[in-house]
């Protein structure tokens, strides 16, 4: 990029799913577009548990899912409540949810998936520039007219910030403030190699099929949870927790993940596996409340996780699908022209993203109930265990056993009722 570089229609910063989707759609619409990525290869810096909802890929371009290098289609959903050495699993299996013969969700490995997606975008005409870190915006007369990278400038009609969770471009543009610690979770993840037949036997799935497992009660009382997703010949095991509470707890995310691997509910599932990859990343947790009031200004807009488009619903995290649909909406807004903010809001509304995030707004309150992480998993396990324990004594009524478990966990009835009310109101 030199001073004499000709201006392009659009510069997209960040080759994650939002940035690639946006650049791809702009290229398909005949716009000249440069996609700038700081990683030396696309996907090398991107972290996700790995579950992708396919409707979003179809929103980028119909038929894309069939060509995508996904790992397995999810046919089994599992939620595991655990304490130090016990666990209780709710498992939902059956005919896999499908729309138009496509699985509704699949697992992906970002390094493979993002690289494929970027190749598609390049084939459509996107100019991909990897290994370049954008340092700042180029602003003239209050309008964003390009970017600065490595001391050189590059000009464009519009700059799109798709630079992920801690978007400094959106901050520099004045659209968002500093990211606060309670707005994010910190995630660590291992990819563990296992052969396909072993995965299928252990998770009770067929060839090409996979399981998505969310775990609660495995974070040493710290706000957060864990996930385990099956890939073609590996599994992705990770933990996402509140960074503020981890620091205060004296534990580490790495320590929690190692303890999880040794837990009796997880150890047999990963036994014999070799760790291929270890990654750490932040993820937004504040839902719609974290989305900035303005998403655009003259010559600039923000998309994907940079705009806060992530939902943590407890039983699933949705960041990749929202990144894809918001990237498409950003491209549509640029193609539509006129006032960017209005055009972008209109395109987002058409995509259903704001309505989806609004509908889940209360989950932040539900997920904010501390006892969900510290107390309830153990309490539920105590009650379940008492139900399955038979001895020579006459069984006590279930309500008595529930009260005994509540006493043992120091949870008064009024606290359970209060949490229940918060829970019901929030969903
Ligand atoms: C542990 C964990 C588990 C998750 N699990 C799931 C899941 O199972 N399903 C799901 O849907 N979502 C999940 N998410 C969330 C999801 O991964 C993200 O919301 C999503 O990837 C965001 O996409 P994006 O394109 O907006 O940003 P990213 O994918 O973060 O892409 C941003 C890109 O911008 C680049 N970049 C940043 N700054 C610059 C710069 N200055 N110059 C050039 N390039 C730059 C980065 O290198 C990166 O490639 C998870 C997140 C974490 C951390």
- The ligand 1 atom nearest the CA atom of 319: 19
How large is the average pLDDT for residues 199-203?
Answer: 97
Which residue has the CA at smallest separation from atom 41 of ligand 1? 134
State in Å: Cα 336 to ligand 1 middle. 27
User: Phi then psi for 73, rounded to 5 degrees?
Assistant: -90, 140
pLDDT surpasses 50 at 3:
no
State in Å: Cα 15 to ligand 1 middle. 9
For residue range 409-425, list pLDDT tens digits in order.
998 989 989 988 888 88
State in Å: Cα 127 to ligand 1 middle. 21
- The ligand 1 atom nearest the CA atom of 189: 1
- The ligand 1 atom nearest the CA atom of 239: 1
State in Å: Cα 35 to ligand 1 middle. 15
pLDDT at 2: 43
How confident is residue 366, by pLDDT bands cut at 50, 70 and 90?
Answer: confident
- Ligand 1 is surrounded, with C-beta below 6 A, by 13-19, 36-39, 45-52, 133-134, 162-165, 187, 189, 238, 240, 281, 283, 304-306, 310, 317-321, 323
pLDDT at 6: 60
How confident is residue 295, by pLDDT bands cut at 50, 70 and 90?
Answer: very high
State in Å: Cα 406 to ligand 1 middle. 40
- The ligand 1 atom nearest the CA atom of 17: 25
Q: What is the pTM of this model?
A: 0.94
For residue range 31-54, list pLDDT tens digits in order.
999 999 999 999 877 778 899 999
For residue range 266-281, list pLDDT tens digits in order.
999 999 999 999 999 9
- The ligand 1 atom nearest the CA atom of 309: 19
pLDDT at 356: 95
User: Phi then psi for 139, rounded to 5 degrees?
Assistant: -120, 130
Name the residue of 149, 320, 328, 357 to mutate for ligand 1: max ligand atoms within 8 A of Cβ.
320
How confident is residue 369, by pLDDT bands cut at 50, 70 and 90?
Answer: confident
For residue range 165-193, list pLDDT tens digits in order.
999 999 999 999 988 888 999 999 999 99
14 vs 6 pLDDT, higher one: 14
Name the residue of 11, 13, 16 to mutate for ligand 1: max ligand atoms within 8 A of Cβ.
16
pLDDT at 13: 98
Which residue has the CA at smallest separation from atom 17 of ligand 1? 48
What proportion of the chain, given as a percentage, has pLDDT over 70?
Answer: 98
- The ligand 1 atom nearest the CA atom of 51: 8
- Kindly list the distances between the CA atom of residue 125 and the CA atoms of 34, 117, 331, 373, in Å, as whole numbers in the listed order: 9, 13, 14, 48
pLDDT at 167: 96
How confident is residue 1, by pLDDT bands cut at 50, 70 and 90?
Answer: very low
- The ligand 1 atom nearest the CA atom of 133: 42
pLDDT at 198: 98
Name the residue of 47, 48, 282, 353 to mutate for ligand 1: max ligand atoms within 8 A of Cβ.
48
Calculate the average pLDDT of the chain: 92
pLDDT at 94: 78
pLDDT surpasses 90 at 364:
no
pLDDT surpasses 60 at 4:
no
| CA of residue 226 relative to chain centroid, distance | 12
Name the residue of 283, 316, 322 to mutate for ligand 1: max ligand atoms within 8 A of Cβ.
283
Residue 35 class from Cβ within 10 Å (0-12 exposed, 13-18 middle, 19+ buried)? buried
State in Å: Cα 169 to ligand 1 middle. 15
pLDDT surpasses 90 at 291:
yes
- The ligand 1 atom nearest the CA atom of 45: 47
């Amino acid at each position: 990029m030199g001073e004499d570089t000709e201006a392009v229609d659009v510069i997209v910063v960040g080759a994650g799913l939002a940035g690639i989707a946006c650049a791809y759609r702009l290229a398909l619409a005949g716009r000249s577009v440069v996609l700038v990525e700081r990683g030396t290869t696309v996907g090398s810096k991107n972290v996700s548990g790995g579950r992708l909802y396919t409707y979003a890929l179809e929103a980028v371009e119909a038929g894309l899912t069939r060509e995508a290098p996904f790992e397995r289609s999810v046919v089994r959903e599992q939620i595991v409540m655990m304490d130090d050495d016990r666990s209780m699993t709710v498992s939902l299996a059956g005919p896999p949810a499908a729309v138009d013969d496509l699985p509704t969700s699949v697992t992906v490995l970002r390094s493979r998936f993002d690289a494929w997606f970027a190749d598609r975008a390049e084939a459509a005409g996107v100019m991909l520039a990897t290994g370049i870190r954008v340092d700042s915006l180029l602003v003239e007369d209050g309008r964003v007219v390009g970017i600065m990278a490595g001391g050189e400038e590059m000009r464009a009609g519009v700059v799109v910030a798709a630079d992920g969770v801690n978007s400094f471009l959106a901050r520099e543009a004045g659209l968002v403030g500093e990211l606060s610690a309670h707005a994010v979770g910190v995630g660590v993840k291992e990819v563990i190699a296992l052969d396909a037949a072993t995965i299928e036997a252990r998770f009770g799935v067929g060839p090409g099929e996979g399981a998505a497992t969310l775990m609660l009660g495995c974070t040493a009382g710290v706000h957060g949870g864990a996930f385990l997703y099956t890939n073609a010949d590996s599994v992705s095991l990770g933990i996402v927790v509140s960074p503020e509470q981890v620091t205060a707890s004296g534990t580490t995310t790495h320590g929690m993940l190692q303890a999880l691997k040794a837990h009796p509910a997880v150890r047999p599932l990963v036994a014999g596996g070799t760790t291929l990859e270890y990654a750490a990343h932040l993820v937004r947790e504040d839902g719609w409340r974290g989305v900035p009031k303005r998403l655009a200004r003259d010559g600039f807009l923000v998309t994907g996780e940079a705009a806060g488009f992530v939902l943590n619903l407890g039983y699933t995290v949705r960041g990749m699908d929202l990144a894809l649909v918001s990237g498409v909406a950003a491209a549509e807004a640029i193609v539509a022209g006129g006032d960017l903010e209005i055009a972008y809001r209109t395109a987002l509304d058409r995509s259903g993203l704001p309505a989806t995030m609004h509908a889940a707004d209360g989950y932040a309150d539900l997920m904010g109930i501390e006892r969900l992480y510290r107390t309830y998993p153990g309490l539920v396990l105590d009650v379940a265990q008492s139900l399955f324990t038979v001895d020579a004594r006459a069984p006590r009524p279930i309500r008595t056993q529930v009260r005994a478990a509540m006493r043992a966990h120091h949870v008064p009835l009024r606290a359970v009722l209060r949490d229940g009310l918060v829970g019901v109101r929030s969903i």
